[in-house]
Amino acid sequence: MRGFFCLAYPSFYLACFLLKMPLSYAVFCGRDGRLKYLHTMVRVTDIDASLEFYCNALGLEELRRFENEGGRFTLVFLAAPGDSEAQVELTYNWDPEKLSEGRNFGHLAYVVDDIYATCERLAKHGVTINRPPRDGRMAFVRSPDGVSVELLQQGNALPAQEPWQSMENTGKW
């Protein structure tokens, strides 16, 4: 274990053991003290609705899933296709709980090949485009649990086009 240190707290080693997760998910090997980004955790209240949004509408892929009957929770790790280094961990607690929106969390952000096609696909899945891509560069949507997701056009902004150019903002983003 020489050269390893825990990113969260010592009991995280125990959590990795209980979840049968390799320690590489919890620690970064390095004597130089550099940190490595692992994932962003988002709590969800409806795992099926969340997977519909994140996978089917947004286009992320499920990498792995851990169900812990004793702890009564499910962890689902997602990433954009071909980018497994930047992961989102959906944490679903089996016992109902009310989640509130915290201002200490801003948003998830993804770069997309075509902002208009992405927003069109999301809209077809029933997702509200809270901040339409009027500028051909940026849009915001929200997950079923209210997590804000920023979509940014790869490279230069696309030329402005309808119906996006005339759309107003909807709700919070």
Q: Coil, helix or strand for 23?
A: helix
Active site residues: 150
Residues 6+ apart with CB under 8 A from 10: none
| Residue of 18, 58, 60, 53 whose CA lies nearest to 39 | 60
User: Running DSSP on this structure, what letter comes out for residue 107?
Assistant: -
Determine the length of the chain.
173
Q: Coil, helix or strand for 47?
A: helix
* Fold equal for 38-98 and 108-166: yes
What class, spelled out in words, does domain 38-98 have in CATH? Answer: alpha beta
Architecture of the CATH domain 108-166: Roll (3.10)
pLDDT by residue for the chain (173 residues), tens only, comes to 333 333 443 344 444 444 444 444 444 444 455 657 778 999 999 999 999 999 999 999 999 999 999 899 999 999 999 999 999 999 999 998 887 766 556 689 899 999 999 999 999 999 999 999 999 999 999 999 888 999 999 999 999 999 999 999 999 87
Residue type, 67: E
Full-model pTM:
0.70
Q: What are phi and psi of 151, to 5 degrees?
A: -115, 125
Domain ranges of the chain: 38-98, 108-166
